[in-house]
Amino acid sequence: MPSNNDHHPPRGRAGMREVADRAGVAMSSVSRVLSGHPDVSPQMRVTVLKAVDEIGYRPDMLAQGLRSRRTLSIGFTVSEIANPVMSGIVTGAEKRLRAAGYSLLLTDSEGNPDLDVEQIHLLEQRRVDGLVLALADEHHPGTVRALQELDLPVVLLDRDVPAGVDARVARFDHYEGMSAATSHLLDLGHRNFALIVGGPRLPARERRRGVDETLERSGTGATCTVFDGEFSSRFGSQAVAEMMGASVCPTAIIAGGNLLMEGALRELHRRNVRVGAELSFVGCDDVALAELHDPPIAVVDRDVQAIGAAAADLLLTRLADRGDEDDPRAMDWHTDVQDVVLPTHFVRRASCAPAPTPR
């Protein structure tokens, strides 16, 4: 029987194998003892615990050994808890996961990718069975590394999958809704656009692409100034302040995100700019602010509960694929389940009006 001669005590599954060999029992027996399975004889328990000690299998690994037992909890990292649609997404995911017997543990990254990395490790240590990640920045090197090293099924929410990462994705087709909004503004005669986007993430990139390519395809010669910053209400206000100070003011503003919309509208109010008269405006997400604004704000809307449910379903499929966790061969969840793309759609409202005739 091989024994462990390394200076460092063994960790993880490698350590479990050593324990099994030393005790002369099957790995599934080691797993049963460490996970507190009720059908274990006292003799087996003594044998395994003795081997655990003799081999120097770290006691803090006992907790990790418990990992093989499902905890029926799922971790969900939220990029910005201030994002008003996040509650809908979480609710959509939670209902679906709860129906399958899972609880949800949430963390907030405050838009900071370094915190994403911390939260992923925190949730992993808390032995969640899987992760839904609305990352602050999916291409942040630390995040990519954490994802590559992760030994859990993962679903990314509205993000690209970085190279070398095994994850499924539930995302929106931001391009389509933004393209429709841009076409509508072009039809109303607008040729001078401003676009506010925020966050180094898929939604910002796709929203921008939707506006840029639609303007280019139109052959109208319309121009667009892009304000690209952090995804926050503050940046929305700041972008409007900047564009209003420029020599040529846009006739149409598109705010590519709900917090950016909120900030932009706040600054327009402060300047007494009459939206829908002096200036056309398109926002994102049909939140109460857009719906009850005077005039109502045209938005690119989406079903946020549906994406939460879709992310949950993808994760549940991957978890089901794990099969019997006592059998190491069944621990592979890298199956071919398809990513999900949900539509966005443009809601026309009085905040969009014909462009003023050129002076």
Encoded tokens for 104: 């949800």
Q: Does 284 bind a second copy (CB under 8 A)?
A: no
* Chain-centroid distance, C-alpha 165: 14
Among 19, 20, 52, 304, binds a second copy (CB under 8 A): 52
Cβ atoms of 308 and 96 closer than 8 Å: yes
Q: How far apart (Å, rounded) are the C-alpha atoms in residues 275 and 140?
A: 37
Cβ atoms of 229 and 256 closer than 8 Å: no
For residues 60 and 151, which CB has a smaller minimum distance to a second copy in the complex?
A: 60
CA-nearest of 185, 180, 179, 233 to 210 is: 179
Q: Does 188 bind a second copy (CB under 8 A)?
A: no
CA-nearest of 300, 223, 225 to 261 is: 300
Closest separation in Å from C-beta 356 to a second copy: 22
Q: Does 81 bind a second copy (CB under 8 A)?
A: yes
Q: What is the DSSP string of 45-84?
A: HHHHHHHHHHHT--HHHHHHHGGGS---EEEEEES-TT-T
Among 14, 26, 63, 320, binds a second copy (CB under 8 A): 63
For residues 125 and 223, which CB has a smaller minimum distance to a second copy in the complex?
A: 125
Q: Does 135 bind a second copy (CB under 8 A)?
A: no
Among 27, 28, 114, 118, binds a second copy (CB under 8 A): 118
Q: Does 86 bind a second copy (CB under 8 A)?
A: yes
Among 17, 25, 28, 84, binds a second copy (CB under 8 A): 84
Q: Does 293 bind a second copy (CB under 8 A)?
A: yes
Q: How many CB atoms lie within 10 A of CB 250?
A: 21
Binding to a second copy (CB under 8 A): which residues in 225-244?
Answer: 233
Q: Does 201 bind a second copy (CB under 8 A)?
A: no
Among 19, 23, 30, 90, binds a second copy (CB under 8 A): 90
- Surface-to-core class of residue 230, CB atoms within 10 Å of its CB (0-12 exposed, 13-18 middle, 19+ buried): middle
Q: Does 271 bind a second copy (CB under 8 A)?
A: no
For residues 114 and 213, which CB has a smaller minimum distance to a second copy in the complex?
A: 114
Q: Does 309 bind a second copy (CB under 8 A)?
A: no
Q: Does 139 bind a second copy (CB under 8 A)?
A: no
Return contacts of 287-295, CB within 8 angstroms, 24+ apart: 287/84, 287/85, 287/258, 289/261, 289/262, 289/265, 290/261, 290/349, 293/265, 293/351, 295/349, 295/350, 295/351
Residues that bind a second copy (CB under 8 A): 33-36, 40, 42, 45-46, 49-50, 52-53, 56, 58-60, 62-63, 66, 71, 73, 80-82, 84, 86-88, 90-91, 94, 103-108, 110, 118-119, 122, 125-127, 233, 262, 265-266, 269, 288-289, 291-294
